[in-house]
Structure 1
Amino acid sequence: MSKKPKSKVGTYLSIGSSLFGAFGVVRQLREAREEQDSLRLVDAVVSAAAIATGVALLARELRRMNQDGGGVPGD
């Protein structure tokens, strides 16, 4: 399976959408703590870790694009 390269703009949009998803996780964390629901709290923590990992991977991809001289060239 071949990985399709992303453009810089696409990578920035992916980071933005991931960070937007973080607002839902924060709300889920607050509600779980208020209700003292440990299972929902664990779910929110795992979701937060997934978002953080995704953003870190995208940031690494951006750094590599910058080192290589840019993203996918336009047509």
Structure 2
Amino acid sequence: MSALTKAKGFKKSKSGTYLSMAATAFGAIGVAKRLKSARAEKDTLVLIDATVSAAAIVTGLAILYRELKRLGDDDVLLG
């Protein structure tokens, strides 16, 4: 099995999904800092941008959570 095939399989695994969730949550830290600074500077455009980014992070985490649940449903030991 090639390294590329293993990498593609990892993306669809539980471990890969957890790693994606952690990376997405880590991105939320930067967005929170941008929201805080935009509010302090009263910069409406940056505030809107950070809010849209926060919504994208929440949506991404919801999609990854759904994928994690789907992977859990395929588990033979659970069913």
Q: TM-score, normalised by structure 2?
A: 0.81
Q: Which has the larger radius of gyration?
A: 2
Give the counterpart letter for 1:51 in structure 2. I
Which protein, 1 or 2, shows the higher relative CO under an 8 Å CA cutoff with sep ≥ 6? 1
**Is the aligned partner of 1:46 residue 2:46?**
no
Give the counterpart letter for 2:23 in structure 1. S
State the shift of 1:31 in Å. Answer: 0.5
State the shift of 1:27 in Å. Answer: 0.2
Give the counterpart letter for 2:66 in structure 1. R
Higher fraction of helix:
2
Gaps of 5+ in 1: 71-75
Secondary structure in 2 matching 1:21: helix
Q: List, as ranges, runs of 4+ consecutive aligned residues in structure 1 with deviation greater than 2 Å.
A: none
Superposed CA offset, 1:8-67 (max 9, x none): 000000000000000000000000000000000000000000000000000000001101
- How big is the alpha-carbon RMSD for the aligned residues of Structure 1 and Structure 2? 1.3
- Distance in 2 (CA, whole Å) between partners of 1:49 and 1:38 is 16
Gaps of 5+ in 2: 1-7
1:57 alignment partner in structure 2 = 63
- Distance in 2 (CA, whole Å) between partners of 1:13 and 1:20 is 10
